[in-house]
Amino acid sequence: MNTAWSDAAASAAARLSFRAATLDDLDGVMRIERACFDAPWPRSVMADEIRGLGCSRLEVAVDAGGVAGFMIFQVIPPEAHLINLAVTPGDQRRGVGRALLERLLDVVRDEGVTTVFLEVRASNLVAQRLYAEAGFERIDVRRGYYADNGEDALVLSLRWD
Ligand SMILES: CC(C)(COP(=O)(O)OP(=O)(O)OC[C@H]1O[C@@H](n2cnc3c(N)ncnc32)[C@H](O)[C@@H]1OP(=O)(O)O)[C@@H](O)C(=O)NCCC(=O)NCCS
């Protein structure tokens, strides 16, 4: 990761705290999910993620205003899968997404992960730019991956030794 990336993420991280979500965060997480995605996950599914009923983890980035962003990921060393990442629209472009991504990489590295995978919509150029700056590279395309509109997913990965 380059220095500019780390400086920006560090400045956002300084005003954020990161922790596993609790059910008290569910309203904040759903507000972001609904504002960010045309096909948001249902509240009940998100609640199950927070309760840990799936095999993924949901972490929130919190600032003075509450939940500013969240991410959902799975860790099965030596691999991790970033399933979802979103930032409150009013907080976007202030380094929160970067800080969450950097937090993910720190957490999974400590758990023995050497490769992180994710899927991103082919039309989502903003997210693709964020991931490219973090060093993710395109390794595959899943045709018609998204059920809501049949859009392709780009499969990205970041690997380190
Ligand atoms: C993608 C997302 C998480 C980025 O979060 P963010 O907090 O706005 O991102 P940051 O402020 O940390 O920006 C990091 C980099 O992302 C890219 N980026 C972020 N917003 C951008 C925009 N509006 N236009 C172009 N690039 C943008 C830039 O490369 C930026 O670096 P820069 O500011 O130095 O140019 C956020 O836009 C979001 O929640 N989008 C909706 C949900 C979504 O698409 N999630 C990804 C699913 S795979």
Which of 30, 38, 126 most suits a substitution to test ligand 1, by most atoms within 8 Å of the C-beta?
126
Q: How confident is the model at residue 3 (pLDDT cuts 50, 70, 90)?
A: low
**Which residues, including other chains, have CB under 8 Å from residue 1's CB and lie 6 or more apart?**
102, 105, 134, 135
Mean of the pLDDT values across residues 28-43?
96
The Cα–Cα gap between 44 and 153 comes to 25
The answer to whether residue 8 scores a pLDDT higher than 80 is no
Q: What is the pLDDT of residues 44-84, one digit of tens each?
A: 999 999 998 878 999 999 999 999 999 999 999 999 999 99
* Amino acid residing at 94: R
Is the CB of 157 inside a 6 Å radius of any atom of ligand 1?
Answer: no
Which of 87, 120, 124 most suits a substitution to test ligand 1, by most atoms within 8 Å of the C-beta?
87
Strand bridging mode 153-159 / 79-87:
unpaired
Residue given tokens 């509240």 in the structure block: 43
Ligand 1: atom nearest CA of 86 is 39
Using CA atoms, how far residue 57 sits from 19, 77, 121, 147, 152, in Å, is: 10, 14, 21, 23, 25
- For 81, the token pair is 């899968």
Number of helices and strands in the chain (H, E): 5, 7
Which residue has better confidence, 101 or 14? Answer: 101
Q: How confident is the model at residue 6 (pLDDT cuts 50, 70, 90)?
A: low
Is the CB of 130 inside a 6 Å radius of any atom of ligand 1?
Answer: yes
This prediction's pTM: 0.94
The answer to whether residue 31 scores a pLDDT higher than 80 is yes
Ligand 1 centroid, distance to 97 Cα (angstroms) = 6
The Cα–Cα gap between 97 and 86 comes to 7
- Domains of the chain: residue spans and CATH: 3-159 (3.40.630.30)
The Cα–Cα gap between 43 and 31 comes to 10
Select from 69, 68, 44 the least CA-distant residue to 54.
Answer: 44
Which residue has better confidence, 54 or 27? Answer: 27
Average pLDDT of the chain to the nearest whole number: 94
Percent of the chain exceeding pLDDT 90 equals: 87
